[in-house]
């Protein structure tokens, strides 16, 4: 990395104060590069059990701190510290946070100094410091609730307004989001979790840097800083809409039900993860196979006979026994006769007899 640009991007991240880099269709978090929209996908796939585990860990911290302040013993303080560390372990595994350069050895963010005396004896800390600790924990609890709200509203946009779209590109996504906003306005937003937001409190500057994905190339990236207890949610909302503008959108897999990122230029309803109950095959392969089976089951008797002849003659063509012109002529005639059966102009028995001559 060119040292001329390194200082511009140095920033010590915290839970409630961090920065990311946006450039074209990618977002850079810490040392990781993701296609824009991938972080939203990862958040949507967080289960309620994972969020509830953080809720329970926070409640354990509250109880441990109250006990330590009351008892003022080495054992009670040690328990409080262990409970606090359990929270950081769970939070550090969350998408976005796991890639930030956060010092998880510190119990609170970089902007809140916690004196060493806190760990020696919680009961001796000042009222101001106790308030800061409590506020930080409440902020973290609030983030968990906001994540639930974000998941529910984003899933509603994706499943109700984007999933039915026939095309998958930025223009189509814009139309879907417009319909979401229009419906929200028409209903007074009563049926929605929260009001759609069009602006976010962030700080932006442009930073020249070496491209993480194209070594030797200098790019001008947009460094966006998110602060406060709603910083994570603001980032996710911005990444979601930025993704849509470049044609990237989360989509629910029709096989496993998990969300995956559908990038610009593709239109598939299956993810590329290992399918449930499988050890090798992905949802995409399993889904395609099941789709073929469904189509086969829906075929009429005449159509099934047509595809039987199709597969037999395809093998002859692959062996060089039929050239392209012969293949096209035979299959055109076979399709014409199949359509005649569908229209009642030929019996199925006659179709079988004629196709057997090819």
Q: What is the mean pLDDT of residues 115-142?
A: 55
Closest Cα partner for 224 from 2, 1, 22?
22
Of 9-13, 49-53, 75-79, 87-91, give the lowest mean pLDDT range: 9-13
Q: What is the pLDDT of residue 175?
A: 93
Predicted confidence (pLDDT) at residue 77 exceeds the cutoff of 50? yes
Main-chain phi, psi angles of 165, to 5 degrees = -60, 140
Token duo for residue 165: 């779209």
Token duo for residue 212: 């993480």
321 in a domain, yes or no?
A: yes
Is 241 in the same domain as 335? no
Q: What is the pLDDT of residues 174-225, one digit of tens each?
A: 999 999 888 877 776 555 555 555 667 788 999 898 887 778 889 899 999 9
Is 204 in the same domain as 310? no
Predicted confidence (pLDDT) at residue 106 exceeds the cutoff of 80? no
Closest Cα partner for 155 from 243, 238, 265, 43?
43
Is 144 in the same domain as 228? yes
Closest Cα partner for 101 from 23, 203, 31, 38?
31
Is 171 in the same domain as 310? no
Is 101 in the same domain as 198? yes
282 in a domain, yes or no?
A: no
Last residue of one domain, picked from the residues 247, 267, 287: 267
Q: What is the mean pLDDT of residues 148-156?
A: 93
Is 153 in the same domain as 85? yes
Tell me which of 163 and 141 has the higher pLDDT. Answer: 163
Predicted confidence (pLDDT) at residue 333 exceeds the cutoff of 70? yes
Where does the pLDDT of residue 82 fall: very low under 50, low under 70, confident under 90, or very high at 90 and above?
confident
Q: What are the residue ranges of helices labelled H in the chain?
A: 3-6, 38-44, 48-71, 74-91, 117-120, 127-156, 170-186, 231-245, 283-298, 301-318, 324-342, 348-355
Best-predicted range by mean pLDDT among 24-33, 76-85, 110-119, 296-305? 24-33
Q: What is the pLDDT of residue 51?
A: 92
136 in a domain, yes or no?
A: yes
C-alpha to C-alpha distance for 234 and 218, rounded to whole angstroms: 28
Q: What is the pLDDT of residue 3?
A: 45
Predicted confidence (pLDDT) at residue 116 exceeds the cutoff of 60? no
Site of tokens 């090819």? 358
Q: What is the mean pLDDT of residues 151-159?
A: 93
Is 211 in the same domain as 331? no
Q: What is the pLDDT of residue 197?
A: 57
Q: What is the pLDDT of residue 157?
A: 93
Is 221 in the same domain as 306? no
| Count of the separate structural domains present in the chain | 2
Is 185 in the same domain as 305? no
Tell me which of 195 and 227 has the higher pLDDT. Answer: 227
Is 229 in the same domain as 342? no
Tell me which of 291 and 276 has the higher pLDDT. Answer: 276
Is 37 in the same domain as 162? yes
Q: What is the mean pLDDT of residues 128-152?
A: 73
Predicted confidence (pLDDT) at residue 341 exceeds the cutoff of 80? yes
Q: What is the mean pLDDT of residues 15-44?
A: 92
Q: What is the mean pLDDT of residues 44-70?
A: 89
Predicted confidence (pLDDT) at residue 11 exceeds the cutoff of 80? no
CB 162 within 8 A of CB 229: no
Predicted confidence (pLDDT) at residue 331 exceeds the cutoff of 50? yes
Q: What is the pLDDT of residue 114?
A: 38
Is 214 in the same domain as 90? yes
Q: What is the pLDDT of residue 132?
A: 57
2 in a domain, yes or no?
A: yes
Q: Which domain holds residue 312?
A: 299-355
Mean predicted lDDT score pLDDT of the chain = 80
Closest Cα partner for 111 from 250, 227, 241, 7?
227
Q: Any idea what DSSP says for residue 275?
A: P
Last residue of one domain, picked from the residues 249, 267, 285: 267
């Amino acid at each position: 990395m060119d040292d001329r640009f390194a200082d511009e991007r140095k920033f010590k991240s915290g839970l409630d104060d961090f920065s990311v880099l946006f450039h074209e269709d990618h977002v850079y978090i810490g040392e990781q590069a993701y296609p824009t929209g991938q972080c939203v996908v990862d958040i949507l796939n967080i289960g309620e059990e994972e969020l509830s585990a953080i809720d329970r860990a926070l409640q354990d911290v509250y109880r441990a701190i109250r006990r330590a302040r009351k008892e003022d013993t080495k054992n009670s303080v040690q328990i409080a510290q262990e409970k606090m560390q359990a929270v950081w372990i769970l939070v550090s595994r969350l998408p976005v946070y796991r890639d930030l350069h956060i010092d998880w050895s510190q119990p609170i963010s970089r902007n809140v100094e916690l004196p060493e005396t806190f760990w020696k004896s919680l009961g001796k800390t000042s009222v101001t410091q106790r308030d800061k600790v409590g506020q930080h924990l409440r902020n973290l609890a609030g983030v968990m609730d906001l994540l639930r709200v974000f998941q529910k509203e984003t899933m509603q946009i994706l499943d109700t307004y984007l999933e039915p779209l026939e095309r998958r590109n930025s223009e189509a996504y814009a139309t879907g989001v417009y319909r979401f906003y229009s419906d929200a306005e028409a209903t007074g937003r009563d049926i929605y979790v929260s009001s759609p937001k069009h602006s976010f409190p962030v700080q932006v500057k442009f930073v020249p840097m070496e491209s993480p994905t194209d070594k030797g190339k200098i790019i001008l990236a947009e460094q966006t800083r998110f602060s406060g207890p709603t910083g994570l949610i603001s980032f996710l909302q911005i990444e979601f809409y930025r993704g849509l503008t470049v044609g990237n959108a989360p989509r629910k897999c029709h096989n496993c039900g998990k969300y995956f990122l559908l990038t610009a230029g593709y239109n598939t309803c299956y993810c590329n993860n290992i399918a449930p109950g499988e050890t090798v095959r992905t949802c995409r392969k399993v889904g395609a196979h099941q789709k073929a089976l469904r189509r086969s089951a829906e075929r009429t008797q005449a159509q099934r006979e047509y595809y039987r002849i199709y597969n037999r003659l395809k093998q002859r063509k692959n062996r060089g026994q039929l050239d392209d012109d012969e293949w096209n002529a035979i299959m055109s005639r076979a399709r014409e006769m199949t359509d005649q059966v569908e229209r009642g102009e030929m019996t199925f028995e006659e179709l079988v007899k004629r196709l057997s001559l090819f």
